[in-house]
Amino acid sequence: MASTKLTKGSIARYKTGDTQQSPIVKITNVRVCGESSTAASNDSERYRLSISDGQDTFDACVLSPDLNKLIKEKRLHDNSIVQLEKVVHNSTATGKSFLIIMDLIILPESSTTTTSNNNNNNKQANTNICPIAMITPYLNGIWKIRARCFAKSAIRPHPVCDFDFVDASGEIRLVAFRDECTRFHPMIEIDKIYDIMGVRVKTADKRWNTLHNDYELTLNSGSIVRLVNDPSVNTSIPDVHYDFIPLQDVSKHTSESYIDVIGIIDTCSDAIPFTSKTSGKDSKRRELTLIDEHTSMSVTLWDDQAEDFDEELAENKTVVAFRRIRVAIYNNKYGLSGSKNMIMKINPDLKEAKHLRIWYDAGGHSVHSQITTTTTPTRPALDASWKTIGQIENEELGRKGRPDYVMLKATCMHIADNRVIYMSCPNDGCSKKVNKLSSALYRCDKCQQDFNECHWTYMFRAELTDSTGAIWASFFGQPAEQLMGYVTAEQFADAKENADELLMQKYLNKNTFREKIFRLRINEETFNDITTVKISCISISDIDFSDYGHRLIANIQNGF
């Protein structure tokens, strides 16, 4: 028991009548006291113990008969190290002090766990349990928490370590410094339930402690941490405390904040190796899609978390809860990112999980995919994808192997006036450029068809600017006609055929120098082995200044 320190001075304090302590002492001798009891029943047998606190020894200790079985079962014996939990101090008629030991904990040789041992303990254990959510520095009297350890730090220099505990009401951190760190770190195990008492309550420092609790607990030399080994208690205390945020509200949280979410794993990619740009280190990442009743959200896991992720979770559409997952913004889209202290629970035993399971199995997913695939919002979400031109360039949008969609408030400076229109295939869904044949027919190579008549269609590039820069974007079809002030491609073709430069310029300038909102698609296109970033306009709208104002206010509030 070299790792457990005896509580020096505790015997001296007992002698003065101080029983409000829970010292660790060594049993130096156990004997049956008095010959008078030999004929009596087992129940009335009395044992007398000698104890040592490493400084003093004391041999006038009587064990409460409730605890006799500890001796009969050979759990308590000479050289046992025990923590005295409840002791009554008394004096004989002649004025000699003696102690009656009412309750104790036998500390195991290995010191890795404590043992909760008898009926008396269990009765006492049910008193004064303070729900974690009720803990304040102003609690009076003797109280304890009964909670499950769900996270445990390594021992840091000084030394210090901490344990995160949860009960049905909430979560709280328990911090151990120096001797307590050495003593409790090997003893407290993740997922086990403990009664904890005699701890100090202080205000949590939110820089280090991100648990959902304003306070934290500190262990001291008189603190007691006792393992609770009762299956009926086990079911009443959750594994982890969650404050779930619906996926649709993730965007209400600032980037880099930590939240708890729950959803169904819909898809997952392979673990993708890459080399970190910042550290040059080889890493891995894996992309998941998490869905709930309202929306879907991408989740990126890194390194070990990416590698260890079980792909069957996506195949089986498993419910997974994430605690302390990080809010991230990639390509102007909100997403979630694995973090070091993240906890991922598969099929947690929670009502939220059951709810999702029922929703999904009742066909929720088909409804869901309809929602996500058929809504191309005419008015996109306020905070979804607004970008400046500077951001489009600096964030390398469109270069991540998939298109990015952004909203841009910008001014069209100029439409490139070479060509502007072309003759297109009239077939529905085709709009390929057709070639004029010598027969005066038009041929679409794609449809392998010849036509007598074809449409004029817009296709041009326009220069867009805002205060951060300028870009060229391609315009086709409806947005092109809109930018041309609803002059049709046919009308423009007439002016062009008549070589009416003035009219053409008039058409081209109908909307230049007017600020509009452009919805853009940005992606890489490879043609003849040359890859370029292509920006095309999907729609144009006038600025709704009330909407725009609200968005600015929201951005300010979100700390942009």
**Residue ranges binding Zn ion (CB under 5 A):** 425, 427, 430, 432, 444, 446-447
CB of 441 to Zn ion, least distance (A): 13
CB of 476 to Zn ion, least distance (A): 15
Helix residue spans in 142-251 (DSSP H): 178-184, 231-234
Cα distances (Å, whole numbers) of residue 325 to 145, 211, 443: 27, 13, 56
* Nearer CB in complex with Zn ion: 330/451: 451
* Nearer CB in complex with Zn ion: 151/434: 434
CB of 425 to Zn ion, least distance (A): 3
Task: Retrieve residue 36's tokens.
Answer: 């008078």
* Nearer CB in complex with Zn ion: 217/444: 444
Q: Residue 15 is which amino acid?
A: K
CB of 433 to Zn ion, least distance (A): 9
Task: Retrieve residue 225's tokens.
Answer: 């941490």
Cα distances (Å, whole numbers) of residue 487 to 124, 394, 480, 509, 541: 87, 35, 10, 11, 16
CB of 408 to Zn ion, least distance (A): 31
* Nearer CB in complex with Zn ion: 396/450: 450
CB of 434 to Zn ion, least distance (A): 7
In 16-159, beta strands by DSSP E: 24-32, 47-52, 57-63, 81-91, 97-107, 144-152
CB of 488 to Zn ion, least distance (A): 20
* Nearer CB in complex with Zn ion: 302/451: 451
CB of 354 to Zn ion, least distance (A): 53
d(CA 70, CA 104): 10
CB of 473 to Zn ion, least distance (A): 25
The residue written with tokens 């079911």 in the block is 235
CA-based end-to-end distance of the chain:
57
CB of 430 to Zn ion, least distance (A): 3
* Nearer CB in complex with Zn ion: 115/427: 427
SS3 361: helix
* Nearer CB in complex with Zn ion: 116/424: 424
d(CA 48, CA 68): 11
CB atoms within 10 A of CB 361: 10
Contact, 393 vs 469, CB < 8 A?
A: yes
The residue written with tokens 């008039």 in the block is 506
How large is the C-alpha radius of gyration of the chain?
A: 37
Burial call 99-111: b when 16+ CB within 10 Å, e when fewer:
bbbbbbbbbbeee
* Nearer CB in complex with Zn ion: 368/455: 455
| Cis peptide leading into residue 159 (ω within 30°) | yes
d(CA 285, CA 294): 26
* Nearer CB in complex with Zn ion: 201/447: 447
Contacts of 266 by beta carbon, 8 Å cutoff, 6+ apart: 288, 289, 290, 291, 296, 314, 317, 365
* Nearer CB in complex with Zn ion: 346/430: 430
CB of 445 to Zn ion, least distance (A): 8
The torsion angle over the Cα atoms of residues 204, 205, 208 and 213, rounded to 10 degrees, is 30
Helix, strand, coil fractions of the chain, as percent rounded to 5: 20, 40, 40
* Nearer CB in complex with Zn ion: 411/427: 427
* Nearer CB in complex with Zn ion: 125/434: 434
Cα distances (Å, whole numbers) of residue 380 to 181, 290, 334, 386: 53, 21, 14, 9
- Nearest residue to Zn ion, using CB? 425
CB of 400 to Zn ion, least distance (A): 32
The torsion angle over the Cα atoms of residues 461, 466, 469 and 470, rounded to 10 degrees, is 10
* Nearer CB in complex with Zn ion: 14/442: 442
DSSP state at residue 494: H
CB of 451 to Zn ion, least distance (A): 9
CB of 426 to Zn ion, least distance (A): 8
SS3 497: helix
* Nearer CB in complex with Zn ion: 135/425: 425
